[in-house]
Structure 1
Amino acid sequence: MTDHPSTYRAADTNREGIQWDDRASLHLNGDGGGVLDGAKGVRRGTFAELIRFVMTLPESERGQYHIQKAGDREYQYAEIADLSTHEDFPAA
C-alpha cells in the first residue's frame, strides 16, 4: 500500500490515475466523524480491496457504508459502484 508521500526530493508524489493501492477504511454512514474518526473504521485495506468488499455485500446493505481513502476523501456507494466497473480496476 502506498503511504503519504515523503517530502524528500518529492519523488513519486504526483501519480496519474486512480491509486488503487492507497490505504483506505470502510465506515458506516453517520458514524459521527470527529477526532476519533480513524478508529471508527469497520474494515481496513487498500482502496481496491474495500471496493471489492462493498460490492460483495447484499445490495440492500451496500448503501450503508462509505470508504475513506488516504487524503480524507470519502466515497459513497454510487461512486464505489462506478469505480468497481472502471476499466483499470485491478483483478482480485
Structure 2
Amino acid sequence: MTDHPSTFNAGPSEGSDIDWDDRASIHKVDDGRGLLDGMKALYRGTLAEMVKRITQMPEEHRADFVIQKAGDHRLELSEIMALAARSDFPG
C-alpha cells in the first residue's frame, strides 16, 4: 500500500488516477475523530477493499459510515458510491 497525499502544495497531484492500493479505514460517521481517531477504525485495508466493503453493506446502513483515506481525506457515501461506479474500480 502506498502512503502519499492526494494533493501537493494545496493543489491536486498530477494525474487523475485513483490509487486503489492507498491505505484506508472505515469509521462510523459520528465517531468524534480526535486524538485517538486511528483506534476507532472498524476496518482497515486498501481503498478498493474499503469501497467494496461499504457497497456490500445493506443500503440502509451505508450512510452510517465514512472512509478515511491515508489521513488526508474523508469520503462520504456519495464519494464512495461514485468511486464504486468508476470503470477502473478493481472491486
Shorter-chain TM-score bucket reads 0.7 to 0.9
Gaps of 5+ in 2: 6-12
Match of residue 66 from structure 2: 66
Q: Counterparts of 1:43 and 1:86 in 2: how far apart (Å)?
A: 22
Deviation at 1:90, TM superposition (A): 1.1
Match of residue 39 from structure 1: 39
Q: Secondary structure at the match of 1:60?
A: coil
Q: Counterparts of 1:44 and 1:74 in 2: how far apart (Å)?
A: 14
Percentage of matched positions with identical amino acids: 48
Q: Counterparts of 1:2 and 1:52 in 2: how far apart (Å)?
A: 18
Q: Counterparts of 1:85 and 1:27 in 2: how far apart (Å)?
A: 21
Deviation at 1:87, TM superposition (A): 1.4
| Displacement over 2 Å in runs of 4+ | none
Deviation at 1:3, TM superposition (A): 2.5
Q: How many residues align?
A: 83
Give the counterpart letter for 2:86 in structure 1: H
Give the counterpart letter for 1:86 in structure 2: R
Q: TM-score, normalised by structure 2?
A: 0.84
Q: How does 1:11-22 map to 2 (within 5 A)?
A: 16=15, 17-22=17-22
Q: Counterparts of 1:4 and 1:74 in 2: how far apart (Å)?
A: 15
Aligned-CA RMSD value: 1.5
Give the counterpart letter for 1:19 in structure 2: D
Q: Counterparts of 1:31 and 1:67 in 2: how far apart (Å)?
A: 12
Q: Based on CA coordinates, which of the two structures has the bigger radius of gyration?
A: 1
